[in-house]
Structure 1
Amino acid sequence: MKFGSAPSLDDIELMARAALHKLPEPFAGYLKDVILIVEDFAAEDLLADLGIDDPFELTGLYSGRPAETEAMTGDLPAMIHLFRRPILEEWIETGVDLNHLVSHVLIHEAGHHFGLSDEDMEWLEETLKA
């Protein structure tokens, strides 16, 4: 990352992949087939489907069947989408460490994959800080 420039899509993806590699088992193993996609914003049709008017309101999204359900023929693979511009906006507004923020969004979205409670997600975030 160049000094004075905003973190790129690749920078955010590298942060997210680093967080994925730090996850303990069994979570890491379950997420090995989840596709990670980093985009500037969610597509307008997706925002409309979710009833979101402001694209800065969506930092991440999980799509796919929860881990505990059986895959069906024709299912798309599970995906975690991270949206760079809303993440950067939250980073600027809160002053939270960017690596921590990216990990937080990633864990929250991965949590949907596992059906985790908020307490479980907080525990996972703490393991990434160690």
Structure 2
Amino acid sequence: MTHPLPETIAPSLELIEQLAHDAVANLPDPWREPATHVVLRIEDFPPEEMLEAMDLNDPFELTGLYEGIPLTEKSVHDQPMHPDLIWLFRRPILDEWAERGDVSIGELITHVVVHELAHHFGWSDEDIARIDRWWE
């Protein structure tokens, strides 16, 4: 029995998670350390209730989602129900990666992570462009 070569196997949930952590570790100061406090959660697809809440019918439309209160809106009076969270959805990410064909999976994961962190930190488009060249 022939086994597929590693580069022909779709990246696993574990690899996507490692690439997401690498994206955070490679953020410039002063963002790197605070970004480590945002939980990364990797799933194959968004949960059905999340799609319904966002009025989406196709689970492939959502590659990532920030769930939390942006730092620009937080108050000392807020009682957090759970830590700030970034969801990454493996199958929609892989679909976009295959359709693009011009970026590495690591570059795409970094792009999605930076986009979701922008919601957390309240970054402007200019802030995002300084961190993620795709945004320009």
TM-score (norm 1): 0.91
Partner of 2:91: 85
- Hey, what does 1:103 align to over in structure 2? 110
Q: Which runs of 5+ in 2 are unaligned?
A: none
User: Take 1:34 and 1:116, find their aligned partners in 2: how far apart are those partners?
Assistant: 15
Q: Matches of residues 1-130 of structure 1 in structure 2 within 5 Å?
A: 2-68=6-72, 69-70=74-75, 72-95=78-101, 96-126=103-133
Give the match's secondary structure for 1:77: coil
Bigger drift between 1-10 and 19-28 goes to: 1-10
Q: Secondary structure at the match of 2:92?
A: helix
**CA shift at 1:74, angstroms?**
4.1
Q: Which amino acid aligns with 1:50?
A: M
Residues 55 and 114 (structure 1), Cα distance of their counterparts in 2 relative to 1, 3 Å cut: same
Instruction: Work out which of the two has the higher radius of gyration on C-alpha atoms and give 1 or 2.
Output: 2
Q: Could you state the TM-score of these two structures normalised by the residue count of structure 2? A: 0.87
Hey, what's the Cα distance between the residues in 1 that align with 2:43 and 2:82?
A: 19
Q: 1:74 to 1:106 in 2, by over 3 A?
A: closer
RMSD between aligned alpha carbons? 1.4
The 3-state SS of whatever aligns with 1:103 is helix
Aligned partners of 1:41 and 1:122: how far apart in 2? 28
Match of 1:37, SS state, is strand
